[in-house]
């Protein structure tokens, strides 16, 4: 098994942190996304959408999509559970995982991809107005989240999950996306401090 | 248990088709999204993001996010499996489910929300240019999919799954989004004909 990795970009990092939390080591094939390595013939063969990471199984099956790769490892190594335990808990974790991804990470990524000069060749065409409207979307989501985090320790309950991983990485990604950290949201800041202090955040 | 339903809008319909395929009946609370019923105090209390559908459990837990609701039912009623069987199959279904959602349905929805006059009060601000660039994105995805469907019957393999549900509903949604059906993609058209002929598609 080999993981085609894209380093510090948000999606590759989500899988890296997930594996660190599970204590799983996987052979990595580093791909330099700065040199557009994700558009190489080798990666395109594994993922026609030219996105990383991609997990290549020993039987030749290629799994792409961050959460699908995490699902594979969660099924094989259920402990510690990062995607929920019973039906209700799995549904709650999936709800929050999706909210963090679709309403927060996606907003931050849109701001980055459509406004940052370095993304000119990645996002064609860049539509600055679309990037701009995503900044208040991301911050509005964090305001809602602050109320939620007043009532519990982690995003999806009292246990750290994949929703915290996505949230932490989206929060870090606000910097290149030029979205100011909302220091007044004390519950969000307390949560961010906690999750980014875990050993998994350092990998 | 009650399902706050939004009728024929894509996400509510994804859950409705999923339940029909499972043969599960759930009490529904109809919400008129045309009258902005999803922004009512009652729905906002259940889902601060004001999106439908929402599943309200008997213990008061509210589950929103289409795929999280499907996950809940898949866990409780595994047959027929719509989200995969073993670790590898679950990962493949999740990969394709996400591709159908993030690369196809989202592109169609962006074209609809940012270009259709009826969405003026829903998507603020509408950015026509962003809607426009999503049309070729959706069609480009279907071209890739056509090559995949030359090799197998359904989106994620030889069995009908949640990825087919999302794909069928996104395909239907091309009409209000004013994206022409790619009749020349014969494998896609054969697949669409098959999935939309199932009894579940009629609900």
pLDDT at A34: 87
* pLDDT(A171) > 90: yes
- A55: chain B residues, CB-CB within 8 Å: 91
CA distance A33 to B105: 26
Burial code (b: 16+ CB inside 10 Å, e: under 16) for B113-136 equals bbbbeebeeebeebbeebbebbbe
Shortest distance, CA B132 to any CA of chain A (angstroms): 11
Q: What is the mean pLDDT of each run of 10 residues along chain B (203 residues)?
A: 94 98 97 92 95 97 98 98 98 98 98 95 94 98 98 98 98 97 98 98 91
* pLDDT(A52) > 90: yes
pLDDT band at A7 (very low <50, low <70, confident <90, very high): confident
Whether residue A49 and residue B144 make contact (CB cut-off 8 A), yes or no, is: yes
Q: What is the pLDDT of residues A149-158, one digit of tens each?
A: 999 999 999 9
Shortest distance, CA A67 to any CA of chain B (angstroms): 8
- A130: chain B residues, CB-CB within 8 Å: 127, 129-130
Given a contact cutoff of 8 angstroms between Cβ atoms, the answer to whether A127 and A133 are in contact is no
CA distance A151 to A146: 9
* pLDDT(A121) > 90: no
**CA-closest candidate to residue B129, choices B118, B113, B140, B115:** B115
Which residues are within 8 A (CB) of A87 and not within 5 positions of it... i.e. 6 or more apart? B71, B72, B75, B76
- B75: chain A residues, CB-CB within 8 Å: 86-87, 90-91
Burial code (b: 16+ CB inside 10 Å, e: under 16) for B39-62 equals eeeebeebbbeebbbbbbeeeeeb
Shortest distance, CA A98 to any CA of chain B (angstroms): 7
Q: Which residue has tokens 């929402």?
A: B54
Q: Which residue has tokens 């020349």?
A: B184
* Rounded mean pLDDT, A34-56: 95
* Rounded mean pLDDT, A43-56: 96
Closest CB to A71 among B55, B69, B91: B91
Sign, Cα dihedral of B172, B108, A137, A197 = positive
Structure tokens at B8: 């024929």
**CA-closest candidate to residue A72, choices A152, A132, A15, A131:** A15
Count Cβ–Cβ pairs < 8 Å, chain A vs chain B: 93
3-class SS of residue A43? helix
* pLDDT(A104) > 90: yes
* Rounded mean pLDDT, A188-202: 98
Stated pTM of the model: 0.97
CA distance A189 to A149: 10
The interface pTM score, or ipTM, of the predicted complex is: 0.97
pLDDT at B34: 87
Whether residue A69 and residue B91 make contact (CB cut-off 8 A), yes or no, is: yes
């Amino acid at each position: 098994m080999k993981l085609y990795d894209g380093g510090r970009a948000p999606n590759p990092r989500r899988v890296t942190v997930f594996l660190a939390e599970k204590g799983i080591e996987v052979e990595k094939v580093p791909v330099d996304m700065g040199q557009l390595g994700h558009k190489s013939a080798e990666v395109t063969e594994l993922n026609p959408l030219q996105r990383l990471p991609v997990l290549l199984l020993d039987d030749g099956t290629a799994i792409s999509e961050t959460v699908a790769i995490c699902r594979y490892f969660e099924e094989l190594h259920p402990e510690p559970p990062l995607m929920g335990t019973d039906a209700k808990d799995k549904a709650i974790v999936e709800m929050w995982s999706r909210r963090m991804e679709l309403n927060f990470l996606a907003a931050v990524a849109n701001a980055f991809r459509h406004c940052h000069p370095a993304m000119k060749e990645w996002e064609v065409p860049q539509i600055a107005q679309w990037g701009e409207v995503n900044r208040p979307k991301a911050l509005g989501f964090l305001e809602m989240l602050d109320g939620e985090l007043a009532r519990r320790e982690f995003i999806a309950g009292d246990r750290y999950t994949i929703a915290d991983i996505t949230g932490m990485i989206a929060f870090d990604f606000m910097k290149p996306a030029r979205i100011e950290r909302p220091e007044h949201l004390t519950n969000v800041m307390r949560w961010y401090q906690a999750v980014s202090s875990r050993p998994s955040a350092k990998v």
